[in-house]
Amino acid sequence: MPSNPFYSLEQNESYAIITWNETNLTQTNTEELELVIRNLFKKEFANMILNIDSVTEIDGFGVSCIRKGTKICTNEMGIFAVVTKNEEIQDRLDLAKIEDFTLLNTVKEAVDAIYLNDLENDFQDSDDEEQEFDGGFSENESDDY
């Protein structure tokens, strides 16, 4: 993806970090954020970190964009983590009551949350596989082999 004045992007195999470079996340620029989220989703990123530490103003369009990002990632068993230390922005996002929302203070905390979520998903997958395997035979049938 070409360089963009609104954000910078860092990608690795487990997650992508979108660092928002603007001081606002409003109707004037949320289309840019939606586009990068969509493009990352097309590249099969289920874990995204949106660092909005520089943001001092967010409106309903910004909140809606974060809601969409959260829904996209959680539908794929991933996390859309939003990072900011700005208490006014945190309060605004908390008031939005976004389902499955992850709001953290640092990118490191967000990375840790992603790895923890991935571990939980792996653990859940292995539990499901064991149940499928165990459910295949009754004790009497297995004695015949």
CATH, residue 102: 3.30.750.24
Helix (H, G, I), strand (E, B) or coil at 62: helix
What pLDDT digit, counting tens, does each position of 125-139 carry?
Answer: 776 666 655 554 445
Q: What is the pLDDT of residue 128?
A: 66
Residue 141 lies in a domain: no
Residue 2 lies in a domain: no
Q: What's the number of domains the chain is made of?
A: 1
How far from 111 is each of 32, 120, 141, CA to CA, in Å? Answer: 23, 14, 47
Residue 145 lies in a domain: no
Torsion of CA 39, 21, 47, 93, to 10 degrees: -110
pTM for this one? 0.84
Residue 144 lies in a domain: no
Residue 93 lies in a domain: yes
Q: What is the pLDDT of residue 132?
A: 55
Q: 82 forms bridges with which residues in the sheet? A: 50, 103
State the residue range of the domain holding 25: 7-136
